[in-house]
């Protein structure tokens, strides 16, 4: 009987700590807010025609995609491509904070996979995405080994 009460109290304490930990996670709040702000800014820029400036700049410089020694899949930037690329960068920022700041340390594999998916959607070419996936996984393993708790 005493063991049941003790176990019950321990479970309640763990649940309270867990809830407090996630309610006080400013990194997730910041990242969520930045994703919404980024989406709004990019969609507004797309609607106002600012994203066409990049394509126009390349045309003025007489740089054509077929003149370059490599393929540029995102020469004509669409709003959703820019959003996904920026969202991937924001998620990479979250991963860096989670790995480097001990107070906000948390598992980052899910966020890393999300960032890779966003980059894949933004770039739209698997010729670029697969090497990025390999680099991201390698960096994740490297940072995980360096930052691992001792």
Give the residue-averaged pLDDT of 3-11: 69
What pLDDT does residue 8 have? Answer: 74
| Residue 116: both structure tokens together | 């890779």
Higher per-residue confidence, 98 vs 53: 98
Confidence of residue 35 (pLDDT cuts 50, 70, 90): very high
Average pLDDT, the chain: 78
Name the pTM for this structure.
0.65
Confidence of residue 66 (pLDDT cuts 50, 70, 90): low
Highest mean pLDDT: which range of 14-23, 71-80, 87-96:
87-96
The string of pLDDT tens digits covering residues 50-63 is 888 766 776 677 65
With a cut of 60, say whether residue 141 has pLDDT above it: yes
The string of pLDDT tens digits covering residues 77-92 is 788 888 999 999 999 9
């Amino acid at each position: 009987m005493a063991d049941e009460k003790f176990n019950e109290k321990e479970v309640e304490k763990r649940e309270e700590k867990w809830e407090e930990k996630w309610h006080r996670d400013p990194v997730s709040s910041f990242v969520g807010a930045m994703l919404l702000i980024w989406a709004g800014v990019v969609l507004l820029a797309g609607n106002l025609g600012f994203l066409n400036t990049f394509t126009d700049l390349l045309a003025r410089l007489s740089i054509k995609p077929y003149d370059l020694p490599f393929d540029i899949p995102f020469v004509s930037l669409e709003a959703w491509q820019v959003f996904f690329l920026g969202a991937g960068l924001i998620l990479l920022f979250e991963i860096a904070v989670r790995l480097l700041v001990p107070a906000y340390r948390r598992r980052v594999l899910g966020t890393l996979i999300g960032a890779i998916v966003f980059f894949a959607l933004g770039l739209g070419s698997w010729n670029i995405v697969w090497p990025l996936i390999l680099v991201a996984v390698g960096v994740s393993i490297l940072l995980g080994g360096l930052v691992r708790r001792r």
